[in-house]
Chain A
Amino acid sequence: MQSRYLPFLLLAVMAVPLQAADSSALEKQYKDQIERLLPGMAASEIPAREQPQQALEKLCHQAGAPGKEAEREALSKAIMAFVVPETPKPARVWLLRKIEPLGRAEVVEPLKKLIGDEDREIADLALRALANNPSEQAAAALRAELSETPKPALKAALMNALAFRRDAASVEMFAKLAGKPKPLVATAAISALGEVGNEAAAEALAELRKSAPAELKPAVADASLRAADRLLADNKVDAAKAIYTELLAAEQPEHLRIAGLTGLARIPGDDRVATLLKYATGDDAHLRLIAARCLSQLPADRDTSRQLAITLRSAAPEVKPLLVEVLGDRGDPHSLPSVMQFMESQDDDLRLAAYEAIGKLGDAGTARVLVIQAAKAKGQDREIIRKSLASLRRPGVDETILKELRNARGAARIELIMAVWGRRISAAKPILLEWANDPDEDTRTAVLTALERLGNEADLPRVIEMMVAAQSDEGVKAAQQAIASICRRAGNAEKAAPPLIEAMDKASPAARVAIIQQLGKIQGPAALGAVRAALKSEDAKVKEAAVAALAEWKPMPITNWVVSGPFKREGKSGTELFDIAFAPESNGEVQWKPLKGAKNEGRFNLAQVAKGDNLCVYVKTVIQSGRKQDVVFDFGSDDGIKVWLNGQVVHGNNATRGLNCYQDRAKATLNEGANTLLLKVTQVAGDFGFCASIKAADGGPVEGVTFEAR
């Protein structure tokens, strides 16, 4: 029963500051407040518990603030005074949850008594409260219970709680229990040893690595690694190293060897690099890769780079590429000569690794070399060299490229233009625009590629001209990408529509196809008109391009709906409800209300209307159309959907699925005037929603329609 005076009581509790009197008086004040809150905290209707429970929570946070130890202790004692069987369970549960981040030594005794409570929920909360209690008394209580209880499940739970505290004093018990036959107990003990991870725990785990049964070895290994990490953090380097080395041994499973090697890589010292180099050049391919990554992450000191370079000289062929990669990753420019020597290697992997590494280490002088190499290269080699040219970070590279650009010819010129693109050297644009009408198609294509990054609105007419004049598919595509990028940067794609439409008249059919494709990406009213006009073209490819462009036109989401429901039938699943006619589809009496909360693409979450499973709702809108016209609807639903237009079923899919827009499509015809669109959406379980959109039959936007939520 909720008192009508409760809100006033809550205000009284929250508003009156407690006087910092002696501790008994404080405790009594808190007890009085809790007593007033108790009935509400235990209300039979769960939502009614909110205000009193939150009032107590606020008290706890206030009392737990730094410098308020007296209040904290008093409130903790007051809380525990009510954690008795006479207090209704919902209130007891809340009190225990609040004591968890608040109580210390003063709450240990009463909590201890609850560990073995018959009520599993109460026992668990008491355990949690002790686990998170920083006092030594809490740890002692948990240890005492652990040594006394015979129940395996409770033993495991107690060990989890002690592990949460990383209780070093429990290590001996953990070690003993790790040898127990019950896996529940043994695994908890082993995990706890890993959590504590001190030298005593590490010793126990070393024994277990020898003696544990096969099914427990993975848990032992993991605990050992955790212990090693903790030992390393405590500067017990030798102890940590011993564990990593043992787990790196050849007979261990691969993932443990990787962990062992990774652990050793974290220990600074003279032998670290030597160890990593040993594995980076060893027979095991996986460990080679791991060792290489560890080497890459070591500090970029010259000594390590020198050792790497020496090792590289005598490394086996299959290892060289990896070491070259490491030199590149480490970023030490002194390693540049070591990698450049492999630029013309016959070994593909080695050569490509060298190019990539040069991109990370190279300078202005290297840029010239790379341009020459790129001009000679083909396929993948050329692509990688271009990437490296784009990546060079040291000073003077851009200036070198600009200087070479003006007088370059042939393949070298192409590569320099691609470097301009890769490095976005805007100062090069005037030179590039001079080559817009160059007789060489490859040059013009490269210029267009560069303009994709460097072009602006003022360049659009020139780019469109170049697209119309392009002789190759690559050229057309490069122009299209340039136009798209320029428009995106300008923030207004539709600006490109007029010059494109103007260029259509003079363009060849192939160029017109490219223009229509571009208009399809831009969209907007001007583009739509031109694309629709192209549907009447005599050229089949132009017409095809127009059809394809319209198919990609964004549909209009329908967001004005009314909703009715939920509807259910005892014993019927959501799937079965699909075919059961409720009032909205059988002209019965229906209550409709506005549906709110439209999201992107017209998605609606119907859980706001109807919670639970095995039900359905109906949504309805009235489409006013200025004329009779064919349209296409796109639907998405979770789960099933059935659609009526003007009383006729136009679509149905009794699906059980998640919601994505455009899952289903239906063609239909709108009458001039009002058209009623009714959807039934069924819910099997889980999430519940739908979306709907409309476009014209030719794929373009539908015109002359409005939607009324009625």
Chain B
Amino acid sequence: MSQRNHVTRRAFLHGAAATLAAPYIVPASALGRNGWKPPSERITLGFIGIGNMGGGHLHDVLRNESMRRQLQVVAVCDVDGVKRENARKAVEDAYAKERNSGVYKGCEEYHEFEKLLERKDIDAVLCAVPDHWHAIVAIAACRAGKDIYSEKPLTLTIREAQELTAAVRRYNRVFQTGSQQRSEWNFRFACELVRNGRIGKLQTVYVNIGEPSEERYFPEEPVRDRFDWDRWLGPAPWQPYNSERCSGSYSGGWRRVRDYSGGMTTDWGAHHFDIGQWGMGMDENGPVEILPLNREKNEPMTFIYANGVRMIRCQQAEGHGSVNGVLFVGTEGRVEVNRGYLKTWPESLVNERIGPGEIHLYESPGHKQDWINCIRNRKRPICDVAIGASSVIVCHLGNIAYWLQRPIKWDPARGEIVGDTEASRWLDRPRRAPWRLYL
């Protein structure tokens, strides 16, 4: 953490308060010079991975006035030369507008993330690489003393989640998992209603997400120009190039391929199972038994918790109908929540107030803003690595049970699968040489 991130409380509160909703706004005049921090006081940021998600984050950081006040992008990295060049140009164009000269040349391109991480002047990195790279890049960033915002799902395997958590703790890094739903008020409020017993005793959580990943079979194509296919594959087993295999498209792409991702179980499970765990009060905990999705027998993927609550992946819930996002069902009511959506039974619950002395969940000022605040005050952000880990482990367990087509038992305290050696061998995957978890 560079010296410039050490601000006085007053100065820090100036910065943080500028982003709070009324009536906690501090006038711009109090911030000095229209509230802009000069570049030397902004957090310097490197982007690793500029695909769909990375590009979206870059757009946000460059276009959102509040982000521009606080962050300075100084480096971009991608194995696709076209993407990294476009990203660098986007950064330079955006910052050029701040300058009288209309020119800005302060963003470097990197093909190798290791080189980007060597820079002492970079405070933090935003990682939006494919899932099979998440752990290696994030652990390397921890070792390099960077704070990290990493896209979800946290990792490709259970052991990676455990090791990444250990690395973040070891180096005392601020790590925000990109499960941004926790920073939206409706998800927080829904979970507070559940945690404070407003629907009675919680019995079942229904989660509507898409399918697990599978082995996929694509014909070979010539590798496209300026694209390092070997490095894109990295630790994953060798496969011939195919544009669909490495596409970030949600309708297909690498997210559906088991070598790189857990499919929608992890991609959307990192959002909705995460909310399920939050509502259950199961952060840094987990289920004890997992029943597999079995399409032939019409049996849903089911997570059974020690307290008897079940979390079920399905589209339709018994006695309810189609599930919109996450549905919590208790003995005295229900809460259904999704992006921009909250519905309760009874309806009056939506106007409930959580009183003092009850459980109040972490209130985030916005997912990136929360991360920025924690970089400055060194506290744990709303989706700290341990939370990302416990949520993604739920997802991975669901997939392992599905791929093996049998129930598995899990010990959340020890972080082990119980009594199934073959299933245990899916806790991690050996990496293609020369890649390893700790470079």
Q: Does B314 contact A (CB under 8 A)?
A: no
Residue of A nearest to B81 (CB): A685
* Contact of A395 with B378 at beta-carbon distance under 8 Å, contacts A46-B217, A383-B17 already known: no
Q: Which of B380-439 contact A (CB under 8 A)?
A: 403-406, 419-422, 425-426, 428-436, 438-439
CA separation between A72 and B6, bound complex, in Å?
59
Is chain B's binding surface mostly helix, strand, loop or mixed? Answer: loop
> A340-366 CB contact bits vs B (8 Å, 1 = yes)?
000000001100110000000000000
Is there an interface contact between B82 and A684, defined as CB atoms closer than 8 Å?
Answer: yes
Per the 8 Å Cβ criterion, residues 217-232 of B in contact with A are: 217-221, 224-225, 227
For the complex, is A370 an interface residue (Cβ under 8 Å from B)?
no
| Contact status A258-B9, CB under 8 Å | no
- What 0/1 readout, one digit per residue, does chain B (67-91) give for beta carbons within 8 Å of chain A? 0000000000000101100100000
Given A101-B426, A489-B351, A607-B251: A449 in contact with B23 (beta carbons within 8 A): yes
Indicate if the CB atoms of B145 and A255 lie closer than 8 Å: yes
Taking a contact as CB atoms under 8 Å apart, the answer to whether A380 and B353 are in contact is: no
Q: Say yes or no: B166 contacts A194, CB within 8 Å.
A: no
Question: Shortest CB–CB separation between residue B87 and chain A, in angstroms?
Answer: 9
Q: Are B433 and A134 in contact (CB under 8 A)?
A: no
Which A residues are in CB contact (< 8 Å) with B219?
45-47
Q: Which chain A residue has the least Cβ–Cβ distance from B425?
A: A101
Q: Are B356 and A160 in contact (CB under 8 A)?
A: no
- The proximity string for A residues 399-412 relative to B, scoring 1 for CB distances below 8 Å and 0 otherwise, is 00000000000000
Complex Cα spacing A605 to B252, Å:
10
CB distance from B14 to the nearest CB of A (A): 7
Q: Using Cβ atoms and an 8 Å threshold, which residues of chain B touch A687? A: 51-52, 247-249
Q: Note all chain A residues with C-beta closer than 8 A to B248.
A: 686-687
Decide if A65 is an interface residue (CB 8 Å cutoff).
yes
Q: Which residues of B contact A418 (CB under 8 A)?
A: 23
Residues in A neighbouring B59, C-beta threshold 8 A: 658, 660
Residue B357 CB within 8 A of the other chain:
yes
CB contacts (< 8 Å) of B426 on chain A: these are 101
- Complex contact B172–A262 (CB within 8 A): yes
Give the chain A neighbours of B430 by CB distance below 8 A: 100, 127-128, 131-132, 161, 164
Contact of A477 among B22, B244, B351, B434 (CB under 8 A): B22
**Chain A window 376-416, contacts with chain B (Cβ cutoff 8 Å), 1 for yes, 0 for no:** 00011001101100001111011000000000000000000
CB distance from A203 to the nearest CB of B (A): 19
User: What's the minimum C-beta distance from B344 to chain A, rounded to whole angstroms?
Assistant: 11
- Identify which of residues 511-545 in chain A touch chain B, using a CB-to-CB cut-off of 8 Å: none
Partner of B438, one of A49, A191, A426: A191
B-contacting residues, A643-701, CB 8 Å: 656-658, 660, 684-687
Find chain A residues with CB under 8 A from B432 CB: 124, 128
Cβ-defined contact, A456 with B356, below 8 A: no
Q: In the complex, how many angstroms separate the beta carbon of A361 from the nearest chain B beta carbon?
A: 13
Instruction: Report the Cα distance A424→B351, complex, angstroms.
Output: 10
* Chain B 237-257 near chain A by CB (<8 Å), digits 1 or 0: 110100110011111100000
0 or 1 for each of B1-33: is its CB under 8 Å from A? (1 = yes): 101001011100110010000111010001000
Say which residue of B23, B144, B221, B251 sits within 8 Å of A597 (CB atoms).
Answer: B251
CA distance A61 to B247 in the complex (A): 29
**Distance of A455 from chain B, by nearest CB (Å):** 11
Residues of A within 8 A of B431 (CB): 128, 160, 164
Once A100-B430, A191-B438, A612-B221 are accepted as A-B contacts, the answer to whether A380 and B171 lie under 8 Å apart by CB is: no
In the complex, chain B residues whose CB is within 8 Å of the CB of A223 = 438
Residues on the A chain within 8 Å of B225, using CB: 613, 685
Question: Is the beta-carbon distance between B406 and A65 smaller than 8 angstroms?
Answer: yes
- In terms of DSSP, what is the predominant structure of the interface of chain A? helix
Contacts of A261 in B (CB 8 A): 172
In whole angstroms, what is the CA distance A687 to B249 when docked?
Answer: 7
- From 112 to 135 in chain A, residues with beta carbon under 8 angstroms from any chain B beta carbon are 120-121, 124-125, 127-128, 131-132, 134
Contacts of B144 in A (CB 8 A): 255
In chain A, residues 201-251, which have Cβ atoms closer than 8 Å to a Cβ of chain B?
Answer: 218, 222-223, 225-226, 229
Q: Does A188 reach chain B (CB closer than 8 Å)? A: yes
Smallest distance from the beta carbon of B119 to chain A beta carbons, Å? Answer: 14
Question: What residues of A have a CB within 8 angstroms of the CB of B419 in the complex?
Answer: 66
Q: Which residues of B contact A153 (CB under 8 A)?
A: 433-434
Known: A132-B425, A262-B172, A348-B10. A607 touches B252 (CB 8 A): yes
Query: How many Å from the CB of B157 to the closest CB on chain A?
Result: 11
- Chain B residues 23 to 59 lying within 8 A of chain A, measured CB to CB, are 23-24, 26, 30, 51-52, 55-56, 59
In the bound complex, residues from chain B placing their C-beta under 8 Å from that of A195 are 438
Partner of B433, one of A61, A160, A259: A160
Nearest residue (CB) in B for A392 is B356
Are A127 and B433 neighbours in the complex by a CB distance under 8 Å?
yes
Contacts of B404 in A (CB 8 A): 61, 64-65
A101-B425, A290-B172, A611-B244 known; A383-B433 Cβ under 8 A:
no
- A607 near B247 with CB under 8 A, answer yes
B6 near A397: Cβ-Cβ < 8 Å: no
- Interfacial chain B residues near A286, Cβ < 8 Å: 1, 6
How far is B62's CA from A660's CA once the two chains are assembled, in angstroms? 14
Is residue B98 contacting chain A, with contact meaning CB distance below 8 A? no
Distance between Cα atoms of A204 and B426 in the complex (Å): 31
- Indicate if the CB atoms of A102 and B436 lie closer than 8 Å: no
Q: Which residue of B lies closest to A97 (CB)?
A: B237
Task: Tell me whether A508 is interfacial, beta carbon within 8 Å.
Answer: no
Q: Is B215 on the interface with A (CB-CB < 8 A)?
A: yes
Closest A residue to B246 using CB positions: A686
* Contact of B224 with A685 in the complex, beta carbons under 8 Å: yes
Q: Which A residues touch B10, using CB under 8 A?
A: 348-349, 352, 380
Q: B355 at interface (Cβ–Cβ under 8 A)?
A: yes
Contacts of B357 in A (CB 8 A): 393-395
Contact B17 A380 (CB under 8 A): yes
CA distance A120 to B49 in the complex (A): 27
* Residue of B51, B220, B250, B432 with most chain A CB atoms under a 10 A cut-off: B432
The answer to whether B217 and A685 have CB atoms under 8 Å apart is: no
Question: Which of A16-62 touch B at CB < 8 Å?
Answer: 45-47, 49-50, 53-54, 57-58, 61
Which A residues between 89 and 121 are near B, CB-CB below 8 angstroms? Answer: 97, 100-102, 120-121
Task: Give every chain B residue within 8 A of A352 (Cβ-Cβ).
Answer: 9-10, 13
- Within 8 Å CB of A607, what residues of B? 244, 247, 249, 251-252
- Mark each residue of chain B from 340 to 359: 1 if its CB lies under 8 Å from any CB of chain A, else 0: 00000000001101011100
Given the complex, which residues of B lie within 8 Å of A386, measured CB to CB?
23-24
> Once bound together, how far apart are the Cα atoms of A607 and B360, in whole Å?
45
Assess whether A157 is interfacial by the CB under 8 Å rule.
Answer: yes
Partner of A258 from the list B171, B227, B244, B406 (CB cut-off 8 Å) is B171
Q: How far is the CA of A582 from the CA of B420 in the complex (A)?
A: 60
The CA of A479 and the CA of B438, in the complex, are separated in Å by 56
- Is A125 a contact of B237 with CB atoms below 8 Å? yes
A423, B26: Cβ atoms closer than 8 Å: no
Q: Does A493 contact B (CB under 8 A)?
A: no
What are 21 sample pairs from A and B whose C-beta atoms fall under 8 A apart?
Answer: A46-B217, A53-B215, A66-B419, A101-B426, A128-B430, A187-B439, A222-B438, A225-B170, A226-B166, A255-B145, A262-B172, A293-B378, A349-B10, A352-B13, A449-B22, A612-B221, A613-B243, A656-B86, A658-B55, A686-B247, A687-B51
19 new A-B pairs (CB below 8 Å) besides A263-B170, A424-B353, A449-B23? Answer: A46-B217, A65-B420, A120-B238, A125-B237, A157-B433, A160-B434, A161-B430, A218-B143, A258-B172, A262-B169, A290-B172, A380-B30, A386-B23, A421-B23, A607-B249, A612-B224, A613-B225, A658-B55, A658-B56
Listed in ascending order, the chain B residues whose CB lies under 8 Å from chain A are 1, 3, 6, 8-10, 13-14, 17, 22-24, 26, 30, 51-52, 55-56, 59, 80, 82-83, 86, 143-145, 166, 169-172, 215, 217-221, 224-225, 227, 237-238, 240, 243-244, 247-252, 350-351, 353, 355-357, 360, 377-379, 403-406, 419-422, 425-426, 428-436, 438-439
Closest 9 CB pairs of A and B: A255-B145, A64-B422, A157-B433, A128-B430, A131-B430, A349-B9, A101-B425, A658-B55, A424-B353
